[in-house]
Structure 1
Amino acid sequence: MVISFFKNLFNFRDHNEQVKFTGITTVEKRQQTKPKAPVPAIEITVNQAAESQLDLSSLFYSLLFSNQQTTVTGIANNLERSVMRNIEQALSSPQSIAENVLKLPSKILELDKKLADDSIETQALIKLIEQDPLLCVEVLKLCNSSAFKRANSDVSSIQQALVQVGRQQLRQFITACLARQLIDIKPIYFRRFGAEIWRHSMQVAFLASELAKPDQRDSAFLLGLLHDVGKIAIFKMLVDAFYQAEPGDQPNSQLFKQVMTTKSLTLSALLARYWQLPQHFETPLTLLANSNIKPTDDMALLVWKANIISECSMLKQVDKLPKPALTVLLAQVECNEEDFIALHQKLMQF
């Protein structure tokens, strides 16, 4: 079960290290034994909420880039202007991006569908997975990573992984490894981006899955993985433009980061539509593209909350998130500071 996995992974609900959201989940309702401490009431206007989220995303972009300087004048350099033109072209023609810049692994949805089919016998499923040796290696590496390892001995085969983590968790691991192929940033300058955006996507996927209802967890997981494909596409455009940029040009203006924040979400939704993902993926991504509004759709809201919590955690880890900003953001996702700190400690394992 996903819940038992998260109990072992994050020690959720264990003694004094409980990690709970005051927007009470189904799991908490079943396990509730005492009243929850209320989140302090903070009056936040719609404009304050929108500005705080935009500032958070802009800070998060600063974390992804290796340079530390940010220009606040709003003047974009030649490199940034070139990429912004490419972004506008991508929004008008997502087909060219989906075919030439960011190809969705052809087997990700096909294999995910088969993994969800309970009528497929275990041995047939193992044989299916083992047809891709590179996929097997990546899955075993993930099973044995510090964040997910559940036993003292290493997992050395897909069959052992299936026994140890279960079919549903293995399905999520395989989906994650296939999605990982989308992030292929080779230049050294952008290598940090590849590592950090993957870490963020994994955090959002697992947080969204934990917050979801039992029948929504697998969809929430995949949606969390795919919500930032627009960012990945834009950064790949940036890599191409970087080779032709003037010496010294860096993607460091506040304007550029804000444009990327708003446009990347729209591009994610357009790519999902072109890839012909099921409607329950495309609709939440389309709603998330309106970054000024807190979504009301269940799936979109899960990813929205998980995204904010993950970005806050990653920025806090490098001491880049001011305390007042954190307070406002946590109030929006209905998470008190004590719970966030406990969750932050667990997220650092990724």
Structure 2
Amino acid sequence: MFRRLISKVFPTLKQEIEANHYFFEDTKDVPENLDIQYNQNTADVSDLTFELNNTVHYQDRFFELLFNSAITTSQRDPINEFIESKILQLLRQPQYILKALPLVPSSLTQVMNTLNQPEFDVEILVNLISDDPVIAAKVIELANSAFYNRANKPISDIKAAFMLLGQKGLSEGVINGFVAQMVPKAQIYFKNYGKHLWSHSQTTGRLSQQLAIKYKINAEQAYLVGLLVNLGSMVIFQLMIDAFSSVCPDTQPNAQNIKRLVTDYGQRLTLDIAKLWNFPREILESLAVQSKISTEHELLKYSERYPIGGCVYQANQLAMLSLLVKHNKIELEDFDFNNATITLLTKGEASLLINHSANTVI
């Protein structure tokens, strides 16, 4: 996805790289202001200025699952430091990354507008979806999933998928089809990262939807925000993979370095992408509020003003726990919810959602 950008940013490495690290020298002149307006129509979210969330909780275990604990190490080397410094420069000037991203296709906008109409022509909708093979494939994949296809009857065309999924399910499939294009296409060394990260995004979307229904707020919008909330993480990982593949294919990225960049810049980059795609203000606000929550009091405060943002924050935390449970990395019976995660749910409610998500194939 970013090969052309990487080729412009990274010079050819010499056979040997000296161990002198110019990290701070390389980045000290880069502007620190990350609030870049991409066009005059971009929604103003200045009242939700980006802040780093210092809460770690069980994040280490989640990253160990993504990368495999055997490779989660803090050991550093010249090549890793060199590439990390360049990626950091890009993250501090994200307009270059954003130019390399796909724009929201007009077909997606047309499909979503059609689905939101009280009455629509199914044939027109089927033709719109069929024009985009990636989105069409994702819709059919969703229709064949155990979550929707309880009868296990194979679905092979869009019209049959619509009959099974219904309007709401089809909307999810269309959104999935576009966002899925952003999932990291990793080297075999990190082959589980993209799979687990996409599973986490889907679970976050599904849990956001369930919590929205519980809180009586817009469930479809909550699903979309939940699916989008980890886009920045996906982009950062793909940048690292493309950089190492282009610059020094015999060296592997340091998982600890990627984790640090994702933690520090992932949420901000997600918001920047959402601005580029001209999502409505409500979605931008819901994404922006994710970085401001680090305590239960803050979650309660921001949930009152931005209910979808608060809903998605909780779903994101629960989705991490769901994956950890699914892969036997934690036992909920021994898990201390009070000290490890932030949610407005009771332990019983949270455990029920986590276990159900862990046992549900999406």
Query: What band does the TM-score fall into relative to the shorter chain?
Result: 0.7 to 0.9
2-side partners of 1:304 and 1:83: how far apart? Answer: 31
Aligned to 1:103: 102
Contact 1:140/1:158, CA 8 A, preserved across alignment: yes
- The code of the aligned residue for 2:222 comes to A
For residue 10 of structure 2, what is the aligned residue in structure 1? none
Q: Distance in 1 between matches of 2:91 and 2:64?
A: 23
Indicate whether 1:90 and 2:90 are aligned.
Answer: yes
CA distance in 1, matches of 2:263, 2:99: 23
| Shift in alpha-carbon separation, 1:161–1:305, aligned structure 2, 3 A | same
Structure 1 outlier segments of 4+, above 4 Å: 245-250, 324-327
Q: Which has the higher contact order (CA 8 A, sep 6+)?
A: 1
What TM-score does the superposition give when structure 1 sets the normalisation length?
0.74
The whole-number CA distance in structure 2 between the counterparts of 1:89 and 1:210 is 38
1:25-174 equivalences in 2 (<5 Å):
53-66=55-68, 68-71=70-73, 76-100=76-100, 102-107=101-106, 108-174=108-174
Q: Which amino acid aligns with 2:231?
A: V
Identical amino acids, percent of aligned pairs: 23
Structure 2 partner of 1:284 = 286
224-233 or 294-303, which deviates more: 294-303
Residue of structure 1 in register with 2:3 after alignment:
none
SS of residue in 2 equivalent to 1:289: helix
Cα offset for 1:119? 4.0
Return the offset for 1:148.
2.6
Question: Residue 251 in 1 paired to residue 250 in 2?
Answer: no
CA distance change for structure 1 residues 123 and 65 in 2, over 3 Å: closer, same or farther? same
Q: How does 1:292-303 map to 2 (within 5 A)?
A: 292-293=294-295, 294-295=298-299, 296=302, 297-303=306-312
The code of the aligned residue for 1:137 comes to A
Q: Judge conservation of contact 2:144–2:152 (CA < 8 Å) in 1.
A: no
| Partner of residue 197, structure 1 | 197
Superposition map of 1:158-237 within 5 A: 158-213=158-213, 216-237=218-239
For each residue in 1:98-140, what CA deviation from the matched residue of structure 2 results, as whole angstroms up to 9, or x when unmatched?
222x434424344322322234322322222223344323311
Which residue is 1:312 aligned to? 321
Find the aligned partners of 1:82 and 1:165 in 2 and give their Cα distance: 48
Partner SS, residue 153 of structure 1: coil
Measure the CA separation in 2 of the matches of 1:309 and 1:127: 37
Q: Distance in 2 between matches of 1:246 and 1:185?
A: 15
Does structure 1 conserve the Cα–Cα contact (< 8 Å) formed by 2:149 and 2:164?
no
Superposition deviation, residue 186 in structure 1: 4.2
Alignment check: 8 A CA contact 1:130 1:136 kept: yes
CA distance in 1, matches of 2:258, 2:193: 16
TM-score, structure 2 normalization: 0.72
- Asked if structure 1 preserves the Cα contact closer than 8 Å seen for 2:129 and 2:136, the reply is yes
Q: Which moved more, 1:258-267 or 1:125-134?
A: 125-134
Matched-pair contact (CA < 8 Å) for 2:203–2:357: no
Give the secondary-structure state (helix, strand or coil) at the position aligned to 1:68. Answer: helix
Q: Which amino acid aligns with 1:309?
A: L
Q: Deviations over 1:5-46 (max 9, x none)?
A: xxxxxxxxxxxxxxxxxxxxxxxxxxxxxxxxxxxxxxxxxx
Contact 1:203/1:310, CA 8 A, preserved across alignment: yes
Q: 1:144, 1:154 within 8 Å by CA — same for their partners in 2?
A: yes
Question: Does structure 2 conserve the Cα–Cα contact (< 8 Å) formed by 1:140 and 1:156?
Answer: yes
The 1:77/1:116 distance shift into structure 2, 3 A limit, reads farther
8 Å Cα contact 1:208/1:224 also seen in 2: yes
Q: What secondary structure is seen at the aligned counterpart in 2 of 1:212? A: helix
For the 8 Å contact 1:234–1:264, the answer to whether it is kept is: yes
Query: Aligned ranges for residues 324-339 of structure 1 at < 5 Å?
Result: 324-326=335-337, 328-329=339-340, 332-337=343-348
Change (3 A) 1:324 1:136: closer
Q: Residue type of the partner of 1:308?
A: Q
Q: How does 1:265-276 map to 2 (within 5 A)?
A: 265-276=267-278
Secondary structure, counterpart of 1:150 in structure 2: coil
CA distance in 1: counterparts of 2:278 and 2:94, whole angstroms? 12
Query: Which residue in 2 is equivalent to 1:340?
Result: 351
